[in-house]
Amino acid sequence: MKAIINSSPLIALGCINKVDILTKLFSEVLIHQEVYNETVINGKNTEILNAIRACKKFKVLSATNIVLLEFLNDHLDKGESEDIVLAKEIGITTVIIDYVFIHALKNDYDVV
C-alpha cells in the first residue's frame, strides 16, 4: 500500500526518530514537493533528511492539476491542498495528515 504524508506527521516522526516506521508500513511513501521543501530544504531535523535519502521507498512528487490546486489553496494550507490533489491524481486513498486539519475540514465542509 502507498501513502502520502504531510509535513506535521513527518516532522513529529522525525522528532522521535521514527521516520523509518513509514517504510515498514507502506510500500511507497509519497511526499509532495511542498512537504519536502518544508521538512528537508527548510527543516532542521536531519532524521527526516537521512531517512528520505537512505530509502528508495520515499518519493517526492508534485501535483499537476493547477486549477484544483488554486481552488483548494483558497480554502486550505498549500501543503494540504497538494496532498489532496496528488492523492486524487494518482489514486491514493491513504493520506497521513494531522488531526487539526481533519477537524477544520470536517467543520468547514461537513466531511466525515
How does pLDDT run across 43-100, given as a tens digit for each residue? 777 888 888 888 889 999 999 999 999 998 887 778 888 888 999 999 998 989 876 5
Q: How confident is the model at residue 111 (pLDDT cuts 50, 70, 90)?
A: very low
Domain containing residue 52: 2-109
pLDDT of 35: 86
pLDDT score recorded for residue 104: 53
Q: Does residue 12 have a pLDDT over 90?
A: no
Q: Domains in the chain: how many in total?
A: 1
Tell me the CATH number at 95.
3.40.50.1010
30 neighbors 4 (Cβ within 8 angstroms): yes
Beta bridge partners of 61: 32
Q: In this predicted model, what pLDDT tens digit does every residue of 88-107 receive, in sequence order? A: 999 998 989 876 555 555 45
- The pLDDT confidence band at residue 22, using thresholds 50, 70 and 90, is very high
